[in-house]
Amino acid sequence: MKNIYGVTIKELEDYFTAKGEGKFKATQVFEWLYKKRITSFSNMRNVSKKTMQDLANDFVIEPLEIITKKSDVDVVKYLFHLSDDNKIEAVLMKHDYGNSLCISTQVGCNMGCHFCESGRLKKVRNLEVSEMVRQILAVEADLNIRISHLVLMGIGEPFDNYDNVISFIDIINTPKGLDLGSRHITISTCGIVPKIETFMKYDKQVNLAISLHAPNNEIRSSIMEINKAYPLEKLIPTIKKYVEVTKRRVTFEYIMLKGVNDSVQDANELSDLLRGINCYVNLIPYNETSHIEYKKSSQEQIMKFFDTLKKRGINVTIRREFGSKVNAACGQLRSNYEEA
């Protein structure tokens, strides 16, 4: 049976209509699920026994199991158990502007970025809609907090699970649901050009982040397999079109890898590549792992790179470092658990 947390409010309206009942019942159910956080259909006090029984016959309602969690200053890393015995991760980061959660969209990843731990264990399957929704619910229940910002950044490539991701966003963005504002949701992609073109037609103001990580094709192809399919000559014009169509700024994520992409020359080349695009660059200090040879750029080199971009007129930030003590690199907790 389908998990109720994977059903959009439109799908639930259609469900009740097919049974000859009013659409308003979908709103009632959503409020019980996402406002009052019931864990059993029998706890719905303003619906008929027949409706509760129908729901129990047609859907399941169950949370994700937390296998383990690790905490550090302002960060909590979760490992979840799925019903088919697979494992996924989520990371809660506490900022001055609120609680941000980075969730998984797949079990494993096929994008093959050489610096990424989650890509080391290949894609098993896409996550179902309910498995994405329940990551949020599980963290909020565990910490008794409200998630204010959401990032779809790993484990997995969100645009490789496009339809489920869009249904997921529709659920969490619904006012009667989790009511998470679309401008507080960010989808990060390594650059699947056809899906970016589809996404620019999406009617919600969800943020787009591009995992760029290199100023030219030579470096990018050496660390990101996706660049061989969609090189910068295809990716950058698509991003320019996205900005023009949506009137929204795009973020370029740039992991700082020692001796690979962090020179002043690289910063100058990146400035030339991005000139004229309504964007900002987010420099990310690399989270080193025991399985991958890449090393984090020094703080001095990161600041030289930052200053060069700044002087060249590029909006740039340096991401605050989180979770070096809690296996916070994408896929690292899952990888270590599987191997143990």
In DSSP notation, 154-170 reads: SSS-GGGGHHHHHHHHH
Q: How many domains does the chain have?
A: 2
Residues 150 and 270 occupy one common structural domain: yes
CATH code of the domain in which 14 resides: 1.10.150.530
**Domain closes at, from 60, 75, 95:** 60
Q: What is the distance in angstroms between the CA of the first residue and the CA of the last residue of the chain?
A: 33
What pLDDT sits at residue 321? 77
Catalytic residue among 116, 190, 279, 330: 330
Residues 56 and 88 occupy one common structural domain: no
Residues 20 and 73 occupy one common structural domain: no
Catalytic residue among 31, 65, 89, 288: 89
Whether 113 shows a pLDDT value over 80: the answer reads yes
102 is catalytic: no
Q: Average of pLDDT values for 92-121?
A: 90
Residues 115 and 264 occupy one common structural domain: yes
The pTM assigned to this predicted structure is 0.93
CATH code of the domain in which 203 resides: 3.20.20.70
Which H/E stretch holds residue 68?
A: strand 65-72
**Domain closes at, from 60, 84, 108:** 60
Query: What would the pLDDT profile of 301-333 be if each residue is shown by its tens digit?
Result: 999 999 999 999 999 999 987 655 555 455 455
Residues 212 and 117 occupy one common structural domain: yes
Question: What residue type is 46 in one-letter code?
Answer: N
Domain ranges, residue 204: 65-339
In DSSP notation, 12-31 reads: HHHHHHHTT--THHHHHHHI
Question: What residue type is 163 in one-letter code?
Answer: D
Mean pLDDT across the chain? 93
DSSP lists the bridge partners of residue 251 as 209, 280
Query: What would the pLDDT profile of 265-292 be if each residue is shown by its tens digit?
Result: 999 999 999 999 999 999 999 988 877 8
89 is catalytic: yes
Separation of CA 245 from chain center: 23
- Model confidence at 339, pLDDT cuts 50, 70, 90, reads very low
Q: Average of pLDDT values for 33-62?
A: 94
